[in-house]
Structure 1
Amino acid sequence: MATLSASPSPNPNPNFRSPTDQTDHDPESLPHMELHPSSDQDLTPNSNSNFHAVLPTPPEAIAPAAAAAPSLLHISFNQDHGCFAAGIDHGFRIYNCDPFREIFRRDFDRGGGIGVVEMLFRCNILALVGGGPDPQYPPNKVMIWDDHQSRCIGELSFRSEVRSVRLRRDRIVVVLEQKIFVYNFADLKLLHQIETIANPKGLCAVSQGAGSLVLVCPGLQKGQVRVEHYASKRTKFIMAHDSRIVCFALSQDGQLLATASSKGTLVRIFNTVDGSLLQEVRRGADRAEIYSLAFSSNAQWLAVSSDKGTVHVFSLKIHGGSPGIDRSQSASDPVTSPHSSLSFIKGVLPKYFSSEWSVAQFRLVEGSQYIVAFGHQKNTVVILGIDGSFYRCQFDPVNGGEMTQLEYHNFLKPEAAF
C-alpha cells in the first residue's frame, strides 16, 4: 500500500517522553503496550459502515479557526483503494475516492500533528502516530483510535520513532527503523518481530486477501527483500536489485511482488512463493525516485509514480494465482507492452533496447511527490499529491498513450470541507 510522509521533524514538546528517556525498560526489551483504563472492550474492528457518520467533536478535538490550508504530513490509501487518509499539522482527514468527497475530519487544538494515519478498510478503527513540528502524540507510539468513541482506546509504545503502520483485519504491523513487530489485532499480543536493514521510509507491505498473511519487508542486505508466509511458516529472501530498495508493493493475494531500487529505471515483478523473477518493465532510461507501486485488483496492471512527474501503467503478463482471481486477457486487453523499435537487435545492443515500456502515461508536475492506485471504475487510476492534489484518470487498455484526466480536486482547500 502506498504512502507519502514528509520528513520527520524533531519533537519540541517537552511533555513527550523521547525514546531515550524511557529508563524503565531494558534497551532490548519488547515494546510496551497498554490499554487505557476506561476501555475494557476488545479491539476487534467493527465493520459497521457507521464509520462514515460525522460524529460529535470530542472536547479534545476542537477545530482551530485557521483559514489557511493545513500542512500535509502524510497521505495513504486504505487497503482497497476506495478511501484515503491525510495526516495534517493539526489532525487528520478521511476522504472517499469515488465519488470524491471528504468523509470526516478530526482537528486537534493542542499540538495536533499526525504523521501517520492508517485506515482499516472502512471500519471504525484507525492507527495514528504523531508527527510534524508539534505532534499530537509521541512519534514513538502507535495510538489505536476508535472513531465510534472518538478517542484512543489503546497504544503501543516503542523505544524509537515509528516509521509506518500496516493493518489487516487480524493483524497490526508496526515498522521501526530496523525492526518490525507483528501483533494480533484482538488483544495486541506480540506474535513476531523481524530485524531489517536500515529502513527510514518504513517500507512494508502485507497481503489483504481473505487468505493467510504474507508480509514483505527489507532484508538484512542492500537490494534484498524478505517475504514471510505465515500459513506455511516459511521465509523467502529475494535479491531483487543491486541497489537499495526504495519501494515495493504486493498484490492483494500476496502472490506477486513488485520492487524498485534507488536507480528507479527498472521495476521487477516476482513470485513470492519461490522468489522467481516473472517480469521486468522499464520506467525510463535516467535515474528517478520511485514513490509508489500499485497492482490492479486482478493483478493485470501495475502503476508506477516517480519524481519525473509521470505516472506509468504497465501490462502484466502473469497468469495463474489464487483461485477466484482471473488474470486472463480479454479481447479488449493489450496483448503486449510497447517495446523499443530496436528490439530486433537486442542480442547486440544493451538490454535497454528490448525493454518493456508502459502502456499508458499521465504527466504531472516534475519533482512533486505523488502516490497512485487503481480506481474502482474500469481502467482508471487515482493519483494523490503531497501538495493536496487529487486526480482521477482513465487509460486506454488497447491503444495506450496519454491518459485522459477525468477529475481534479485540491483536498486541502478549506472550501473543500463538507
Structure 2
Amino acid sequence: MEAAEGPGAGRGEHEPGSRFGCASFNQDSTSLALGTRTGYKLFSLTMAEKVDCIHESETPDVYIVERLFSSSLVVVVSATMPQRMNIYHFKKGTEICNYNYPSDILAIKLNRTRLVVCLEDSIYIHNIKDMKLLKTLLNTPPNPSGLCALSISHSNSYLAYPGSATIGEIIVYDANSLNPVTMIPAHDSPLAALAFNVSATKLASASERGTVIRVFSVPEGQRLFEFRRGMKRYVNISSLSFSPDCQFLCASSNTETVHIFKLEQLGPSGEDQADTWTAYVGKMFSAASNYLPTQVAGMMCQDRAFATVHLLSSGQRNVCTLVTIQKLPRLLVATADGQLFIYDVDQLEGGECKLAHKYRVFGVNDDKDEGAEPAGSGVMSPVQSTPSYAETAALPASGPVTATLTGYSEDSGAKKGEVIPEHEFAAGPVCLDDENEFPPINSCCGGTEGGRGRRW
C-alpha cells in the first residue's frame, strides 16, 4: 500500500540535495523502492526474514520512484531533471518513454489503468497502457507538497487531492470516467495526508495539525470514523495506510510513534457488539452525540490507537504500511535514513507491536556521509464568501481540457501546447497488462497468502 501522500509526500523530501529522496511501497506492498543521491533500489518484501534487492540503478538524485505492482514498470524522477518523468522496463534495462512537464513533478501515482502526475498547480492523467494523456486538471489550488492519492481498485479508480490551500477540502475525482465525484469538507486546516483503502470505498485524511485522522465513505463522502492521534502537540503526519481487509489504519509522522487504529463502530451496531463496559459507554456516547454540539460530539467519538510502535528515533521522514507476510499481519516502516523495520501486530489484543526484523537497505556505499551500516546488516477554517475551488470542481465537467504539457517524442518531447499523440513505446512492444506482469485483478488484496483469521 502506498502511503498517503505517497511516500515522499512533503516538498522537502523532493528538494535536490535532500539526504534521501524517496521511499515508497508498491500498490500491494510486495516491494519497496528507495532513492538517494546515488541511485535507487527495489526490494522484495515477500519474506520477513529476508529482504532481497531485485534491482538497482545509478540514476543520480532520485526523489520519486514508483513501481507498478509486481510488474517491470518503474517510474523515476531525478532532481537533475525535475520536470521529466522517465518510465523504464527495469528487467529489460530499457526506457519505455519519457515526458516533460511545465514545472517540477511533485508526485506520481499508478494503478492498473491510470498514471497520475501531480504538479504544484495542475494534475495530468494518463492511460497507463499507451501513456496517452486523457485529462489535464489545470489551476488546481496551490499544492506545494504534491499531495494526492490514487486508489488501486480496478473498477473504482478514484483520485483524491486538495480542493483548497487554506482549509482541508478534498476533491474526489473519477480517473476512469474523468469526472468529478464529490467534495469532502474534511478538516479546518490544510490537508497533509490522504489514502484510499483497497476497494476504494473509504478515504482517510489528516490535516497539517496532525491531531485528528478521519475516514470517509466513497463516493458519498460521509464521515465514518474519527481518531485522535494526540492532543499535546501538532505533528506532521507523513503517511496513512489501510490494512488490506480495511479493519485497521496506520499513521506515521515525524515523531517516534506509529499509530494503528481499529475501524469498528462504537455505537449500536447489532448483535456483534460486545456486552462490555466499554461497549456500553460507547453506546451512551453515540446516543448522547445526537443532542450535543458538533465539536463536543466529535471529541466523544474519537478513538485512541489500538496498537502502537515506538521507533528508535524521531524526526526521520518515513512511510508505513500494513500487510500480510507469510500468513502473519505485519507493520512495515521504511525510514529516510535507509532502514526498514518489520513489526508483528497482535490483531486481537493490540498494544505495543513487537519488532521482528530490522534491515539496513542503504549502506555506506550508497551515501558516504551517513556512516551507515553495510546493507543487510542488523536484524534488517476561514469563511469563504465565494465558492471554493473544491465546490466548483465538484460540479459536472464543462468539457474536455486541452493538454498543454510538453509531451513524449523520440527527440525528448514535443513543443509546449501540442496535444500528445498516441505512440508506440520507444523500447518496442511491451505488454504491460500481461498476467505475468500484473497480479490478477481479483487477487489484488495486498500481502501474501493470508491465513483464515490471520489475514488483514
The structural deviation recorded for 1:308 is: 2.0
Aligned pairs for 1:327-346 within 5 A: none
| 2:237 corresponds to | 290
| 1:303 corresponds to | 250
Q: Distance in 2 between matches of 1:198 and 1:390?
A: 33
Q: Distance in 1 between matches of 2:147 and 2:224?
A: 22
Matched, 1:385 2:353: no
The structural deviation recorded for 1:338 is: 13
The structural deviation recorded for 1:230 is: 4.3
Alpha carbons 1:384, 1:391 under 8 Å: kept: yes
Alpha carbons 1:314, 1:337 under 8 Å: kept: no
In the alignment, residue 352 of structure 2 is paired with which amino acid?
Answer: E
1:315-358 Cα offsets, whole Å, 9 max, x none, are 11279xxxxxxxx99999x9979999x97998699554653101
Between 1:1-10 and 1:258-267, the stretch displaced more is 1-10
The structural deviation recorded for 1:102 is: 3.0
Q: Distance in 1 between matches of 2:204 and 2:134?
A: 26
Q: Distance in 2 between matches of 1:172 and 1:308?
A: 32
The structural deviation recorded for 1:87 is: 1.1
Of 88, 91, 100, which aligns to 2:36?
88
The structural deviation recorded for 1:123 is: 0.8
Q: Distance in 1 between matches of 2:107 and 2:66?
A: 9
Matched, 1:179 2:125: no
Of 84, 87, 90, which aligns to 1:147?
90
Pair 178,373 (structure 1): closer, same or farther in 2 beyond 3 Å: same
Q: Distance in 2 between matches of 1:10 and 1:372?
A: 23
In the alignment, residue 31 of structure 2 is paired with which amino acid?
Answer: C
In the alignment, residue 354 of structure 2 is paired with which amino acid?
Answer: T
Say which SS state the counterpart of residue 357 (structure 1) adopts.
coil
| 2:187 corresponds to | 241
1:83-132 Cα offsets, whole Å, 9 max, x none, are 11011212110011232423334343xx722111010011111111012x
Alpha carbons 2:45, 2:51 under 8 Å: kept: yes
Alpha carbons 1:315, 1:337 under 8 Å: kept: no
| 1:395 corresponds to | 345
Of 208, 216, 223, which aligns to 1:270?
216
The structural deviation recorded for 1:231 is: 5.2
Superposition TM-score, scaled by structure 1 size: 0.74
| 1:416 corresponds to | 375
Q: Distance in 1 between matches of 2:279 and 2:239?
A: 20
- Runs of 5+ consecutive residues of structure 1 not aligned to the other structure: 12-69, 320-327
Matched, 1:120 2:68: yes
Q: Distance in 1 between matches of 2:94 and 2:88?
A: 6
Pair 9,358 (structure 1): closer, same or farther in 2 beyond 3 Å: closer
| 1:76 corresponds to | 24
Pair 339,395 (structure 1): closer, same or farther in 2 beyond 3 Å: farther
Between 1:406-415 and 1:159-168, the stretch displaced more is 406-415
Greater relative contact order structure (CA < 8 Å, 6+ sep) = 2
In the alignment, residue 140 of structure 1 is paired with which amino acid?
Answer: Q
Alpha carbons 1:338, 1:359 under 8 Å: kept: no
1:10-38 Cα offsets, whole Å, 9 max, x none, are 59xxxxxxxxxxxxxxxxxxxxxxxxxxx
Alpha carbons 1:258, 1:267 under 8 Å: kept: yes
Q: How many residue pairs were aligned?
A: 343
Alpha carbons 1:4, 1:386 under 8 Å: kept: no
The structural deviation recorded for 1:366 is: 2.2
Say which SS state the counterpart of residue 355 (structure 1) adopts.
coil
| 2:357 corresponds to | 407
Alpha carbons 1:206, 1:254 under 8 Å: kept: no
Pair 397,186 (structure 1): closer, same or farther in 2 beyond 3 Å: closer
Say which SS state the counterpart of residue 86 (structure 1) adopts.
strand
Q: Distance in 1 between matches of 2:96 and 2:174?
A: 30
RMSD, aligned α-carbons: 3.2
Say which SS state the counterpart of residue 181 (structure 2) adopts.
strand
Pair 234,180 (structure 1): closer, same or farther in 2 beyond 3 Å: closer
| 2:400 corresponds to | none
| 2:134 corresponds to | 191
Say which SS state the counterpart of residue 274 (structure 1) adopts.
coil
Q: Distance in 2 between matches of 1:4 and 1:338?
A: 42
Superposition TM-score, scaled by structure 2 size: 0.68
In the alignment, residue 397 of structure 1 is paired with which amino acid?
Answer: Q
Alpha carbons 2:42, 2:55 under 8 Å: kept: yes
Matched, 1:229 2:195: no
Alpha carbons 2:212, 2:229 under 8 Å: kept: yes
Matched, 1:362 2:309: yes
Question: Could you tell me the percent identity over the aligned residues?
Answer: 27
Q: Distance in 2 between matches of 1:410 and 1:8?
A: 22
Say which SS state the counterpart of residue 324 (structure 2) adopts.
coil
Q: Distance in 2 between matches of 1:118 and 1:75?
A: 9
Q: Distance in 2 between matches of 1:123 and 1:330?
A: 41
The structural deviation recorded for 1:169 is: 2.0
Pair 234,170 (structure 1): closer, same or farther in 2 beyond 3 Å: same
Of 38, 46, 55, which aligns to 1:98?
46
Q: Distance in 1 between matches of 2:201 and 2:224?
A: 11
Aligned pairs for 1:5-44 within 5 A: 6-9=12-15
Between 1:194-203 and 1:269-278, the stretch displaced more is 194-203
Matched, 1:205 2:138: no
| 1:42 corresponds to | none
Q: Distance in 1 between matches of 2:305 and 2:344?
A: 14
Q: Distance in 2 between matches of 1:417 and 1:211?
A: 39
| 2:322 corresponds to | 374
Q: Distance in 1 between matches of 2:129 and 2:57?
A: 28
Alpha carbons 1:72, 1:89 under 8 Å: kept: yes
Q: Distance in 1 between matches of 2:193 and 2:35?
A: 21
The structural deviation recorded for 1:273 is: 1.1
| 2:198 corresponds to | 252
In the alignment, residue 150 of structure 1 is paired with which amino acid?
Answer: G
Q: Distance in 1 between matches of 2:229 and 2:318?
A: 15
Say which SS state the counterpart of residue 225 (structure 1) adopts.
strand
The structural deviation recorded for 1:306 is: 1.2
Q: Distance in 2 between matches of 1:194 and 1:303?
A: 30
Q: Distance in 2 between matches of 1:224 and 1:209?
A: 23
1:281-313 Cα offsets, whole Å, 9 max, x none, are 111112111011000001110001112211111
Q: Distance in 2 between matches of 1:182 and 1:258?
A: 22
In the alignment, residue 391 of structure 1 is paired with which amino acid?
Answer: F
In the alignment, residue 112 of structure 2 is paired with which amino acid?
Answer: R
